[in-house]
Structure 1
């Protein structure tokens, strides 16, 4: 008979996500220099913030390292735009989620900055940051790539607004509604135009909107967000956030699973996403030699956007604190005690 292993209630075991994701991990050679430059950019921007806003900055997150594994072929200029964008994204997500800024004003200001970064001016810090990196992005990005970046950003802001509203009203998500929200809340879709940007290509709209290419995007998005929900669960449960944005908690509620069962289920969802990616890749049509070369770059970029964040998160103190190296070795996570409510 198979031996049944009892898992204590105060810990869980991570799925072996890295072994399941077989794509090669590559790091951009400009990583260190760009990381320092991007952190300096963030520090200079944050000097403009009010003290209570400044306290929400996470300069030690090393988003430059994340950009470096997502966009390993970028030159230094393009990599820093990506790193600055990621710094902005993490800061904006925290500010809006925890009501450190006026959500509606921030959302409108950032969209205006994206639509007209040259002429638009504002004192709103998030929009100033947005204008800074997006003005540089527009220098080399093609029109299709630029418009796709703006559209994905609009979807992200709309999803954040809905999440904040749901939290305020105490609305809970079932599996279907959570999946629909998380697809845009993750901001992974904003990263797809950056693949074109760093490669200095501009795919035709009919290619990006083709059902097979969209299936590849969906699979990439799914793998990235479900693995993130697994990695971030402990941090989020400790502060009482999981019911509003974590698949593990949704699965426990919706499917009646215990914590380890939900973690394992989410891990299987990550494996399914990779299988979906590969089956979609096998069905890619041809658009001619030149476009096919660009599509191959785009597909490889999506691979990088799956495997890169996976390794970055497994090495990140953001999710596992000082125990990050032990967790990476053993895959055993001890639950952080919940913070007392005021």
Structure 2
């Protein structure tokens, strides 16, 4: 594998994707309410709060769920924020800590109207309040799917922690098996169903299973390519599909990005072809299935748009990166004193470095 280049060229993955950008009209109010809700838990230091705010999870929810009603969108925004809180709260923890946090979240999801124990990690109360607010606006089957898929996501988070702490590089197949759950993509799909009625016998149809998985692959490729730069700067890129592809195939980072871009194109073709041959169950189910499939397609578009419209990955340089598809690689920055690290030369301007520095934990990163 060759050295990391100073710049990489991003693939133009969604130039022909038929789902256009959509955003729900009333998202600013919901975004503010959700952000204030998270802030009320006191999870973040001032520095960490800056990192949270620049992500704009209310915008992500508004892009992902453009057809939801206001109260439904609030659940979507709270869910996105809760996932981020779990990631950041457990990011520096060992397996025991992450497992404890995951078990607390799972218990909170199973008991949304039960008070959390005094002195417990606050992450349990975050998820409890999210679900307590959501229960009244979803069906029993949707609630069950949401809880079950997020429980699997918690187990995936634990395994991801184990791999990172042991510097274990799994292969792509193993990585995707973990990431399908640790990414919380499946429960994120379920949030769409707050306004869609798909019966269980239809939900588990093999073709819908494939479409959910292909949608995950498309989102995962875009996300891992976009996040690789930041994750490498933080010393956390081992659990990233770009890194694993480069290691598996003994190729450079640019070649790995190109390979994943080509895989994105092939997966996109499979997804689009499948949408032309959906089974029929009669109305009104067929219309609901069409809305559901459109929701998955829109999720792919929304993730792409949010990656550039928030300041999560490219900070103030997003418009330029999107226009040129050229990304300047960041120098490594300090994560812990034991890690090898680099810094810019005096006076050197590195596009996007401010984002990397804001995401690097310090002694007060989480209260």
- Give the structure-2-normalised TM-score: 0.85
Map 1:216-235 → 2, pairs under 5 A: 216-235=211-230
> Runs of 4+ in structure 1 displaced over 3 angstroms?
49-57
User: Is the Cα–Cα contact under 8 Å of residues 112 and 120 in structure 1 kept in the other structure?
Assistant: no
Structure 2: distance between partners of 1:221 and 1:284 = 19
Instruction: Give the match's secondary structure for 1:36.
Output: helix
Q: Which residue of 2 aligns with 1:336?
A: 330
Structure 2: distance between partners of 1:232 and 1:50 = 22
Select the structure that is richer in helix: 1
User: Is the Cα–Cα contact under 8 Å of residues 17 and 267 in structure 1 kept in the other structure?
Assistant: yes
Structure 2: distance between partners of 1:75 and 1:81 = 10
Q: Check if 1:139 corresponds to 2:103.
A: no
Map 1:72-87 → 2, pairs under 5 A: 72-87=66-81
Q: How far 1:60 moved relative to its partner?
A: 2.7
141, 146, 158: which one aligns with 1:161: 158
Q: Which residue of 1 aligns with 2:33?
A: 37
Map 1:1-342 → 2, pairs under 5 A: 9-46=5-42, 49=43, 58-99=52-93, 102-122=97-117, 123-197=120-194, 199=195, 201-243=196-238, 245-340=239-334, 342=337
Relative to structure 1, the CA distance from residue 301 to residue 87 in structure 2 (aligned partners, 3 Å threshold; closer, same or farther) is same
Relative to structure 1, the CA distance from residue 28 to residue 249 in structure 2 (aligned partners, 3 Å threshold; closer, same or farther) is same
Deviations 1:39-98 (A, max 9, x none): 11111122xx48599769613311010000100011111111110110111111122232
Relative to structure 1, the CA distance from residue 67 to residue 190 in structure 2 (aligned partners, 3 Å threshold; closer, same or farther) is same
Deviations 1:9-68 (A, max 9, x none): 20001111231423111110011111111111111122xx48599769613311010000
Instruction: Give the match's secondary structure for 1:140.
Output: coil
- Give the structure-1-normalised TM-score: 0.91
Deviations 1:234-255 (A, max 9, x none): 0011111111x21110111001
RMSD: 2.2
Structure 2: distance between partners of 1:315 and 1:55 = 18
Q: Which residue of 1 aligns with 2:355?
A: none
Structure 1: distance between partners of 2:83 and 2:149 = 13
Relative to structure 1, the CA distance from residue 29 to residue 237 in structure 2 (aligned partners, 3 Å threshold; closer, same or farther) is same
Segment drifting more, 253-262 vs 98-107: 98-107
Deviations 1:166-199 (A, max 9, x none): 22223211122112112112111111111111x1
Q: Which residue of 2 aligns with 1:5?
A: none
Q: How far 1:310 moved relative to its partner?
A: 0.6
How many residues of Structure 1 are paired with residues of Structure 2 in the alignment? 331
Structure 1: distance between partners of 2:51 and 2:305 = 23
Structure 1: distance between partners of 2:214 and 2:257 = 19
